Every structure is written in C-alpha cells, then in structure tokens.
Amino acid sequence: MGKLKLIIDGIIKNNPTFVLILGMCPTLGTTTSALNGMGMGLATLFVLVLSNMTISAIAKLIPEEVRIPSYIVVIAAFVTIVQLLLQAYLPSLYETLGLFIPLIVVNCIVLGRAEAYANKNSVIDSACDGLGVGLGFTIALTILGFVRELLGSGSIFGWKFIDGDGILAFVLAPGAFIVLAYLIVLFRKVTAKKA
C-alpha cells in the first residue's frame, strides 16, 4: 500500500505543475498541443524514474562534496538516451520539442526529486516516487496542451473537428499562462474536496 500511496501522492499531493508549480519552462513552452505536452511529460517521466533509481542505488557511494554534480551527470545520461530515442523513432516530436528535451537535465522537478527523495530512500520507493511525480507532470502537461489545442486551433491530438481558426492567443504564451492559472484553480478545488 505504501508504494501506491507514493504514486498517488506524486499525481495529486506533490503534482509538480498544479501544486508545487515547478518546471514551468517546459510546461508553458511545449504545451501548444496535447501530443506535445504528453511527449514532454513522458520523456520527463522516463528520466525521473531511471535517475531516481540510479541515484538511490549509488547515493552512499557519492561523497557529499560532489553530490549535486554527480546527480546532474546521472540525469544527463538518461536525458541523452531519451533524446536519441526520440530522434530515432519519433523525429517529428523531437523536432517540435527541440531544446526542451536537453533542458530536462536542469529541470528542477528531476533534480529536486533526486535531492529530496531518491538519495534517502530505497530503489523501489524511489522508482515509485519518480513514477508518481512523472505521471502527475505528464497528466498536467497533456491536459494543459489539450485545452490550449482545443481553444487555439479547434483540434484534439491533431484531429481538427472545428472549421476555421481557433483563438490564436491560446496557442501563444499568454494563452499558456491563462489556461494554466484556471487549471491550477480547478485542480485545487477538486482535490480540496477529496482531502
């Protein structure tokens, strides 16, 4: 039951986007469509789970003085794997996400979970923590991209179902801030009722 609670907490209580307000650069920059948001979220999820597990496994071997640089090297290795996989198998998504993929290395969500959780807990617990936070991030980015794509271009996951153009502001940066603000309020109202 403890493992499931870690995952659910990452999705709801420690949701990086709607609760902790972390990782705003990729959140606002990549969510012009639901597919882009989901792609960025899944790439971050992959890095979170594997880097958490690795850091948990080697935490006792790393001297205190080089702890953070060591974490960054581990995270960078997994980001490189994600980048190469996307480039090889999903080149259109890779082109769309562009610079945001290598920036996962310095994403405060990933480094924060390594520092706050993975270096103090078991490999399995760290994997569950990474999975929960990664799922929370993926869900948040997909929903944000879904709403922006729906309002901005009248489509969902690239499928156009409204003729004509949408409201351009929702595809641009101001629309990202507006939609994110409303989604944060909605998320907090819904989760407050369940608490």
Residue 115 sits in which domain range? Answer: 2-194
Contact 117, 99 (CB under 8 A): no
Instruction: Taking the CA atoms of 87, 93, 99 and 103 in sequence, report the sign of the dihedral they define.
Output: negative
Stretch 21-37: mean pLDDT, rounded? 94
β-partners of residue 159 are 156
Those residues whose C-beta lies under 8 Å from the C-beta of residue 164, and which sit 6 or more positions away, are 154
Stretch 41-48: mean pLDDT, rounded? 97
* Entry pTM: 0.94
pLDDT at res. 2: 86
Instruction: Tell whether the model's pLDDT for residue 136 goes beyond 90.
Output: yes
Stretch 30-46: mean pLDDT, rounded? 96
Count how many domains the chain has: 1
Q: Is 14 helix (H, G, I), strand (E, B) or coil?
A: coil
Question: For 178, phi and psi rounded to 5 degrees?
Answer: -65, -50
pLDDT at res. 164: 78
194 confidence band (pLDDT: 50, 70, 90): low
Tokens of 127: 């994997």
Question: For 117, phi and psi rounded to 5 degrees?
Answer: -130, -55
16 confidence band (pLDDT: 50, 70, 90): very high
Distances, alpha carbon 162 to alpha carbons 115, 151, 159, in Å: 46, 10, 9
Q: Is 39 helix (H, G, I), strand (E, B) or coil?
A: helix
* Residue matched to tokens 């489509």: 155
Q: Judging by DSSP bridges, how do beta strands 159-160 and 155-156 pair with one another?
A: antiparallel
Instruction: Tell whether the model's pLDDT for residue 195 goes beyond 80.
Output: no
Instruction: Taking the CA atoms of 75, 77, 80 and 85 in sequence, report the sign of the dihedral they define.
Output: negative
pLDDT for 140-183, tens place per residue? Answer: 999 999 999 999 999 999 898 888 788 989 999 899 999 999 99
